[in-house]
Each structure stands twice: as structure tokens, then as C-alpha cells.
Structure 1
């Protein structure tokens, strides 16, 4: 039912959409978005829709609005002040709240997913001809910078020298560091768990953290951004050896941890630079999907399983991605950005 309604919106051929109809459609489209749990479902619907009409929906709506203003200005120029005031009030009180989710300080503010769908198209050269994700052993700085660092093409690195310093990672390690105030988080993601804070998550029941039979799956992530805490974390995990010292300028490290059967849902990031992520313990399956504008030029999606000791390089600003912990052990990863 949801897919049918979504396809109806993105495939519409009507050229007689009035502002009031656009307002209703906007409310319904947001309702569909809220009802849809998995972004994969939305991406599939958009892929099947003719000419990806969703990208033109809001443009068409705004075009009718601008046309309405222009006609009003020409036909009623003697009363333009009153007309413009009325239009401003209609926009602020009726139209903008539907589109911006109630934030009147923004003319148009869309849900994150629709921001991604309607963003300016990107060049698809990074995925054209890409049939699978490269797996490279002991990647050098020169090869990394020439073939992967700034091309947008993902790569998985094995046998990197930095991994040898990271054998002791465990849930208990982070719990101890947190209690001893050796690490301080800047941003925390509970994903689909019930933990409101990182402290609450790290103090979960011991049986749950140790994956005892009957445990409830969980997955969390948080960042470390203050220099003194980053340096403490680097006592336990090393930056990948294929990153030159000049590349390691983004002073933020991310930690992701979780049990089998859980992970991060399909999403796209809004960070400054491409990212690396080291699988320190356990295994995690990554699913990558190309941006909407590249669906008909590139392979639709890719999967790769990250084992302990693997490092993935990915520009998460252009690749949709989701993760799922697999196997029988807890998954622990640490990552960051490079320039």
C-alpha cells in the first residue's frame, strides 16, 4: 500500500496541480515517509518510478507558486502591496509549515531523506564500471592517494600494519575508560536501542553486553572530538598506515559497537571528508547503494563483509550505506575522516 501511494506521487503526469493540491500531496508524502521504516523500500520505489518524478515534484510546486505571484503582480499591480502581504501570510502560516515540518524560520526544510533525494545531482564517474569493491592487501600511501583517496571509489584494505596495535578492544575496555573519565563523547547515536545516553549504554546489563543466551540485540555509535581524548584513544588504535600525516587533519574519531542482528540503517552522511573505518573485532556486513542519479549508470548496490583486521575506505557523503553485525561475536570498529 505504501509503495503504491509512493509510486503514484513520483509518477504523476498531471500539469494542473494547484497550490492547495500540492499542500495536500506534501502532507501525504511526508506521511508515507514517516510510515516507511526502511529507506531501502523508498529507494526501490524511486528506482521503479518513471523518470524519477520525485525530483521534480517540489520544483513544480514552487514553479506554480512563482507563476501565481507573477500573474498577481501583473494583473493587480495597483494592489500589489496588499497581495504580497497576503501571500507572505499564506506562505508562513499554511504552506511553509507543511513543507518545513513546522519550522517557520526556514522557507523550505525537508526531512533528511528528501533533502538527499532532491540535492543537486553528482557526477557518477566514481561508480561507472564498478562491479565489485576492491580488496587490497597492505595498501601503500602512493596507491591509496592515486587510485582511491579522492576518486569516490570504495576499497577494503587487509593486512595493514596499524591493526597490530588493536588486539585488546572489548566492550569492557570502553566501559572502564568511560568510568575513569579517560574518554569523553561529543555525539552519540543510539540507533534503534532504548539507551538515551552513552553512559546508560555502557552500563547495560552484563549478560547483555557479553551476549549471553537470550540477550536483546543492540548497536550504538559515538564520536570523540577533543584532542586529549583522541590522543588517549590512539594509544589503543592506530591510524591506518596508508594515510599520510598530512591527511590526518580531521580531529574526530568514531566508535561503533553492537551485537549480531543489529546495525545502522540505510543512510547517507553529511560530513566534511571521506572516511575510513577499521574493523577491530567481530564481523560486519556493509551494503552500499549508489545515489539516485546514478541508478541507471552504475550497479545498483554492493555488499561486502568486513572481518576483524579489515579497513574500509568510503565517501559516506555520496554512498548510501547500512551495516549489520554478523557472526557470533560483538562488532567493534573505530573510524575517522581524512583530507
Structure 2
């Protein structure tokens, strides 16, 4: 049994060893750091996680749980540290390791998203807080954002508002995914050929969280919170933009506080969703496509998800939370 005074050192050594093994199996630290939407953007770098392989994750975690921890350590230490995420600030498996085991009722017998017409608040009430993936067709058809939101629009917006770039670095979050951009400034500085995805240019796909009040106020002139969401829903005054070509996001969970909605402003996108590893034997993964003006609703806290943009076309989405 590990003595209390040595517990922190013991856990730290084990997690570092776990990360080393994970990297040896092909995980990339930059991908682990830049893939996951987080509820608290100030600690985003400490809370990112990339799900490289469900089977690999189970293989790594099960021996760790049952081979290296006895009942005392598991019951008294891991449960205590579930609320203290900063113990090992550079280890990207902590979130997955401390994630509660999922009740598989949420995914059992679900093989497709629920596709609904552009419905009213009253009609949507029954579905409001469901964990089933849903697509609301043409729910964003009247948004001016379809014509206004472009790479140039956001470049001009961030260039002219003081402190806008700093807000991304200090308060919000930048997600480079597989692109070779370190920050939003580099995205806006790319060549016109690459920005247009010309032949021979590297594809790119990025996301960033907007939390600067002036940025949000201007953006809100061109889109609305989905009209069917319930009046009692808690909706943060922030959003994410995801845009780019081809690669999309790799499979991951989001460590956020609420359900997610995402409006397809430009182009289309193919989603792949999968159950948590403990539900593999009872649930199946599946794919679906979301077209321009559609809104997808997904509980990204329990559904692993990845995206891909088809046909070499630009995809641009607005994303936020509700709950």
C-alpha cells in the first residue's frame, strides 16, 4: 500500500509512465494539446485530450487501474483528485482517466442521428436535453452569416479591435488541429493560395473560441442562437468558429459543461460519432452529414466525434453550448 505522504509522487510517476507509453504507441503531444473544447479556457492547455484509439486507451488504463492501484489508492486518491485537475498539468490522459464510467443507455440501439424539420420551441421541447445526436434541418437558413462570415471578415475584425488577439491567448482558446499554425495571427497571415485551398497547397482546418465582448457583439449581428432552444437553457456569451478544408477534427471528447449545438454556415461536413470505450460491446459508431443551414446537436461529453470536409470545399461553422 502506498503511504499518504508518497501518494502524489506515486501518481505523478505512474501518469508520466502512462504518457510515455501512450506516445510510444503513436500519440503526438501537439495533437493531444490542441484537440479538445474545454469549459474553462484559461486551463485549456492543461485539459486537452486526443482519443487516438479506444482500444489502445482501454489497454493502457485497465492495467493501470487494476494492476498498479489497490483499493485504498483508487477509493481515496483518484476520487479526491477528480476535482483537482491541476495535479499534473502537462498530462493529457488525466481527463479521460478521471472521466466517470458511462451508462450505455445513451447510445444503445442508436445507429443514426434523429433528423428533425425546422421546428418551434414548443415542438422541440420533447427533445430539448436529449443526448441523442440530432440534426435540425434548415434551422439557420435566414442567417446573414452565410454571406458575411469569411476568413477576411474575421481577419478584419480581429485586426481592428484592440486586445482581440490577446483575448484568444489569455481567455479563450485556439485549436490548430492538424494544421501547422501556432495561433490565429498565423492563420490570417497564410497565403491567398493556401487560404483558397489551391492545388498543391497544404490543407488547413482550425477552430477558435470567441470571448471578446466587441467581437461577440459584432458577430451577433449576423447569426442568432438557434430559435428552437428552450427559454430556460443556459447559453454562454461565447462561441467557437471552426473553418477549413478536408482534415477536420480527429476523434475526441469535449470537456465542457453543457450540450453542444453547431450551425453549418458554409459548406457541409461529415461527422463520425462513437460511444465511449466501455460501451463498445453494446453500441455502434456511425456517420452522418450536415449540410449548409443545418444545426447539429450533440452531447460531445459522451459521444466521441470527428469531422471531415468533403469535396474540397470550405466548411465554416458556429458552435456554442446550451444546458
Q: TM-score, normalised by structure 1?
A: 0.71
**Correspondent of 1:156 among 126, 135, 147:** 135
1:120 corresponds in structure 2 to 100
Q: 1:64–1:133: structure 2 CA closer, same or farther, 3 Å change rule?
A: closer
User: Partner residue of 2:270?
Assistant: 285
Are the aligned partners of 1:177 and 1:183 in contact in 2 as well (CA < 8 Å)?
A: no
Contact 2:19/2:93 (8 A) holds in 1: no
Q: 2:31 matched to 1:42?
A: no
1:116 to 1:46, Cα distance in 2 relative to 1, 3 A: closer
1:165 maps to 2:144: yes
Q: Indicate if the aligned counterparts of 1:226 and 1:251 stay in contact, CA closer than 8 A.
A: no
Which secondary structure does the structure 2 equivalent of 1:145 belong to? Answer: helix
1:305 aligns to 2:289 (yes or no): yes
Q: CA deviation at 1:113?
A: 3.7
Q: In 1, Cα distance between the equivalents of 2:109 and 2:123?
A: 20
Instruction: Structure 1: give runs of 5+ residues left out of the alignment.
Output: 1-21, 68-99
Alignment-derived partner of residue 113 in structure 2: 133
Q: How does 1:1-339 map to 2 (within 5 A)?
A: 29-35=18-24, 36-37=26-27, 42-45=53-56, 54-55=61-62, 57-63=64-70, 106=87, 111-113=91-93, 115-147=95-127, 149-161=128-140, 163-168=142-147, 169-181=149-161, 184=164, 185=168, 186-247=172-233, 249-260=235-246, 262-299=247-284, 301-339=285-323
- Helix, strand or coil at the partner of 1:334: strand
Query: Radius of gyration: which is bigger?
Result: 1
Which whole-Å CA distance do the structure 1 matches of 2:71 and 2:121 have between them?
53
In structure 1, C-alpha distance between the alignment counterparts of 2:191 and 2:12, rounded to whole Å: 48
SS at match of 2:70: helix
Structural RMSD (CA):
3.2
Deviations 1:30-77 (A, max 9, x none): 333113248665213467x6xxx833633542218869xxxxxxxxxx
Structure 1 position 328, deviation (Å): 2.4
Could you say if the C-alpha distance between residues 66 and 31 of structure 1 is closer, same or farther in structure 2, counting changes exceeding 3 Å? closer
How many residues are paired up?
276
In the alignment, is the contact (CA less than 8 A) between 2:51 and 2:252 conserved in 1?
no
Kindly provide the CA deviation profile for residues 149-189 of structure 1, in whole angstroms up to 9, marking residues without a partner as x: 32211101112155443221222221222222289342211
Q: Indicate conservation of the 8 Å contact 1:252/1:336, yes or no.
A: yes
What is the DSSP-based 3-state SS (H/G/I as helix, E as strand, rest coil) of the residue aligned with 2:230?
coil
Name the CA distance, whole Å, in 2 between partners of 1:143 and 1:293: 34
| CA distance in 1: counterparts of 2:91 and 2:122, whole angstroms | 40
Structure 2 unmatched runs, 5+: 1-10, 29-49, 75-80
| Whole-Å separation in 2 of the counterparts to 1:116 and 1:40 | 9
Equivalent position SS for 2:53: helix
Q: 1:123 to 1:234 in 2, by over 3 A?
A: same
Is the CA contact (8 Å cut-off) linking 1:163 and 1:238 kept in structure 2? no
| Paired position in structure 2 for 1:12 | none
Secondary structure in 1 matching 2:261: strand
